[in-house]
Amino acid sequence: MFYFVSKIVWFFATPSNLLLSVIVLGLVLALVRRLRTFGIGLALATAVATIALGLSPVATALMVPLEERFPAYSDDGTKVDGIVLLGGAVDATDSLSRGRISANESAERVLDTIALAHRHPQARILISGGGGTIFGNGDAEAPIIADYFKSIGIDPARIVIEDRSRTTWENALYARELAKPKAGERWLLVTSAWHMPRAIGVFEKAAFPVTAYPVDFRTGGGSNNLRPFAFVSDGLRRLDVVTKEWAGLIGYYLTGRTSALFPAPHASSDAAGSASL
């Protein structure tokens, strides 16, 4: 129930969808004589807000705290027993339709996992990703990524497929069932930097200790974060992503899926340092 409610509610609450809906509402109200002025004003004000939010660096400002929460991974030479790759980088339906992998803007999740697989040839690779969409036929992402890994020479015996999960919470639960991590083992968690705080929070709640390996950074740091967007659609796209992530953090905390509102690295975390790729 939580899955369907969260997905449906978010579909209508997504900033870009919400802004467009308010503009349409304003235009509809403008058809009513008594509400004509109000309707036109509402539509125009919302249109201006849409342009401002799409071009300004507001979305970037909201994303920076998420991406900087967990520092880039530093390889200190400690043995890596396993790698957990969270789905969200491949469009399963398009991939199956075209007969080849179709990656999206989060493709670094897959690319960095490939690099890790070569760097740690003894590590197991657990790919977690089912059909987590409202529309479509719910094709699972994990098997598609697994087939791609096999096609480029990664030993199939190392690959573990988790294809039931639809949410980050289910990623953690089902991944733990399959991985059966033992005390002292080191598992790396590969996901987008902006998604890492929530992902770490739920894996900890699910009693699956992992080390953060953030990828797919969307912000550049420093003065780059002050740059406006060249296209309204780009800014709105980032706003949709970051707003959903903050909402997810709050929702997961309130429903007990994380123990902290904004999960952070532990003092002894081995995730600190600079990227080693």
Count other C-beta atoms under 10 Å from residue 254's C-beta: 10
CATH number, span 72-217: 3.40.50.620
Contact of 31 with 37, CB cutoff 8 Å: no
Q: In the beta sheet, which residues pair with residue 215?
A: 192
Contacts of 89 (CB under 8 A, 6+ apart): 103, 104, 106, 107, 108, 109, 110, 141, 145, 216
Query: For position 3, what pLDDT does the model report?
Result: 57
| pTM for this entry | 0.90
The domain ranges of the chain are 2-55, 72-217
Contacts of 103 (CB under 8 A, 6+ apart): 89, 90, 91, 110
Contact of 3 with 166, CB cutoff 8 Å: yes
Q: Which two tokens stand for residue 103?
A: 């990656």
Amino acid at 263: P
Encode the chain (277 residues) as per-residue pLDDT tens digits: 555 566 677 777 899 999 999 999 999 999 999 999 999 999 999 999 999 999 999 999 999 999 999 999 999 889 999 999 999 999 999 999 999 999 999 999 999 999 999 999 999 999 999 986 555 457 999 999 999 999 999 999 999 999 999 999 999 999 999 999 999 999 999 999 999 999 999 999 999 999 999 999 999 988 899 999 999 999 999 999 999 999 999 999 999 999 999 999 985 544 433 333 3
Tell me which residue of 83, 72, 70 sits closest to 266, measured CA to CA.
70
Q: Which two tokens stand for residue 29?
A: 């109200």
Strand order in the sheet with 124-128: 159-162, 124-128, 82-86, 187-192, 211-215
Which 3 state secondary structure label does DSSP give 194?
A: helix
Contact of 241 with 104, CB cutoff 8 Å: no
Residue whose token pair is 């894996």 = 203
The H or E element spanning position 187 is: strand 187-192
Contact of 202 with 171, CB cutoff 8 Å: yes
